[in-house]
Each structure stands twice: as structure tokens, then as C-alpha cells.
Chains A and B, each alone.
Chain A
Amino acid sequence: GNSVTQMEGPVTLSEEAFLTINCTYTATGYPSLFWYVQYPGEGLQLLLKATKADDKGSNKGFEATYRKETTSFHLEKGSVQVSDSAVYFCALSDPHAGNQFYFGTGTSLTVIP
């Protein structure tokens, strides 16, 4: 079946620190992979995505590479800001399951000045 395993948090970093949030997946087919971000009291917003192996998604300084050999999609940012404080969800969509989405448990990030 399909599932997403995500690094547990919470994660607390100082401003300008390097961020990595690990994400691995299992899938029966060829899924698309996503990172969503949720700010307090809000819904989820797409941060970046990758639709096939070796694709790199990037946005707002965040990036993640679709690694089929390691079934991973780790999120990275070289220098975090206080405004990056949020909950980050790794997800996959399976075209063989009606494009249903499968989410990781979310990782809470707090960036302190």
C-alpha cells in the first residue's frame, strides 16, 4: 500500500540555520510527491512538488529531490527564517488510487531569532 513516513518533531532552529526534514514513502505505483506547509489556524498550502524520479521541486528557498532509489523526498533549506515557523507535511498522490493523497504526520518547525 501507500504510506508516508516523516521525521518527527518538533524541530527548533535558530534563524539562518540549515533545515532538513526527512521523508520516505512506500507506493505501489509511480506517485507524485509533495511538501505542504500549514501556518497556525490555516489550511494547507502547497510548498513544492515533484512528479517523477530525480525531479527537484523548489520554492521560497526550500527544495526536495524525488529519489526513487531511496524512496525519499527530504525537504531542505539552507537558511531558515522566523517566518518559516509552521508545520510541514510530506505527501504523495497515487494516480492508481483516484489521486488520493497520503500524508505524513507533519513536522512542526519553530525558528527562533
Chain B
Amino acid sequence: GAVVSQHPSWVICKSGTSVKIECRSLDFQATTMFWYRQFPKQSLMLMATSNEGSKATYEQGVEKDKFLINHASLTLSTLTVTSAHPEDSSFYICSAPIGGTGGTEAFFGQGTRLTVV
């Protein structure tokens, strides 16, 4: 079945540095990738939608200059948290929707636990 691989699974960085999270579709082409953020004991909050070859669409309240999204190929989307601060510590998850005979569903990456110290 379709697999989305997200890397790294966890990262600790110093305040003020940048962190890049990669999300790859392994056996299908992902023209769209969703990026979510999940706070402890809460649901997923959609941050942005990236589309291959075009600019990402950000949800209201998400700083596009802080969360840089690049979707340069059909199998890779990246999220870069720039100048990270402790409040950016969270669980970030990507997902790619894929259509099929049973309708569209989403395949999720394993998630990245970001801790900013």
C-alpha cells in the first residue's frame, strides 16, 4: 500500500536555529501534501497545504515566513521551522491524500517530535 515516510522522527534544537522536516511518498506521486501540528492531548491542526510546483496555502494564523514549505517534486515536501522557539515545540505530521476505488483517503507520515530548548 501507499507509504509516506517522514524524517526525522524526533529532533532537539537550540532556540534560534532552523529545522527541516522531510516527507516523502514512497510508491506514489503526491501532488498535494498536508502539514499538521498536534499539541499534547489535542487534535491535528492543519497548518498548510502544499502543492507540487506552486506556493503552499497557509491556514489562518500560521506564519508563512516561519513555517517554510517546499514541494519541489511529486515525491518530496519539506517543512522548515525557521528561528525556532520553545513555543514551536510540538508534534508535526504530514499526510498525502490519495484517491482510489474506495474514495480519497490520507496516508500519514510517522510524525516528527520537535523540542526546542
Contacts and interface: CB of A to CB of B under 8 A. Distances in A.
What interface size band does chain A fall in?
A: 20 to 34
Contacts of A104: 43
Which among B43, B99, B107, B108 has the highest number of chain A CB atoms within 10 Å? B43
Q: Is the interface of A mostly helix, strand, loop or mixed?
A: strand
A44 B108 contact: yes
Given A99-B97, A105-B43, A49 B34 contact: no
B114 interface: no
A15 B6 CA distance: 34
A103 B37 CA distance: 12
Interface string A34-47: 10100001111110
A72 interface: no
A32 B104 contact: yes
A43 B113 contact: no
A99 B43 contact: no
A26 interface: no
Shortest 7 CB-CB distances between A and B: which pairs? A51-B103, A43-B111, A99-B97, A105-B43, A32-B103, A44-B108, A43-B110
Interface of B: 6, 32, 34, 41-44, 46, 49, 93, 95, 97, 99, 102-111, 113
Interface of A: 32, 34, 36, 41-46, 49, 51, 89, 93, 95, 98-101, 103-106, 108
26 contacts: A32-B103, A34-B105, A36-B108, A41-B113, A42-B110, A43-B6, A43-B109, A43-B111, A44-B44, A46-B105, A46-B107, A49-B105, A89-B43, A89-B44, A95-B104, A99-B32, A99-B99, A100-B49, A101-B34, A101-B95, A101-B97, A103-B44, A105-B43, A106-B41, A106-B42, A108-B41
